[in-house]
Copies of this chain bind each other. A is one copy, B any other.
Amino acid sequence: MKQTDYVILGLLSESPLTGYQIKRIIDIRFRFFWSESYGQIYPRLKSLQIQGLIEETDSTIKRNRSQKTYQIKPEGLAALLHWLEQPVERESVRIELLLKMYFSHLITADTMVSHLRGFQEAHEKDLQLIQMAERELKAIIGKDPNHPYVLRVIDFGEKINEAYINWSRETIKFLESRREK
């Protein structure tokens, strides 16, 4: 059982989904703290099914024949709960931009500023997406018992992205003031 398995089980604990939908949800809702590729998701879905933790829904009314919707089984929920109770292990962060910033006395300020702008813009977009998700959620708040917790996660995304953006702005200013001299 790897981390990917638990993400899948977690999402399936909310509602039945296809592999494609799982990927999309992770890309949108989890984008600021998680990612998965199809190359991870599809083989894991198969494995979880073989282990008897999830199953295909037998919806005979299939609009699209090439579509498999999975739902969680009690065994899967048990595995999920067990994992949730285990201490948190890994946390991995790799920010190439900071590596370049660290060594940036070797390049021109202009080049570094352009890297920073890219970073800032990417996180401004992220922040907008998160704020959109927040508004959508607040419109239907309470419909699901997980909403308050999801809101805390969204709050994390906002704070961190704001910090990223502010730091970028300050650093660009710093580089520009140096360039003038």
The interface of chain A, by Cβ under 8 A from chain B, is 3, 6-7, 10, 13, 30, 32-35, 80-81, 84-85, 87-107, 111, 114-115, 118-119, 122, 145-146, 148-150, 152-153, 155-156, 159-160, 163-164, 166-167, 170-171, 174, 178
Partner of A93, one of B80, B85, B93: B93
Chain B residue at smallest Cβ distance from A154: B102
Contact B166 A159 (CB under 8 A): yes
Shortest Cβ distance from residue A3 to the other chain B in the assembled complex, whole angstroms:
7
Contact A119 B88 (CB under 8 A): yes
Chain B residue at smallest Cβ distance from A10: B103
Contact A102 B10 (CB under 8 A): yes
Chain B residue at smallest Cβ distance from A166: B159
Contact A99 B34 (CB under 8 A): yes
Partner of A115, one of B3, B87, B155, B170: B87
Main secondary structure of the interface of A (DSSP, over half): helix
Shortest Cβ distance from residue A92 to the other chain B in the assembled complex, whole angstroms:
5
CB neighbours of A91 from chain B (8 A): 94-97, 122
A84/B96 contact (C-beta < 8 A), A156-B167, A160-B163, A163-B159 known = no
Contact A100 B88 (CB under 8 A): yes
A84/B97 contact (C-beta < 8 A), A152-B174, A156-B167 known = no
Shortest Cβ distance from residue A172 to the other chain B in the assembled complex, whole angstroms:
10
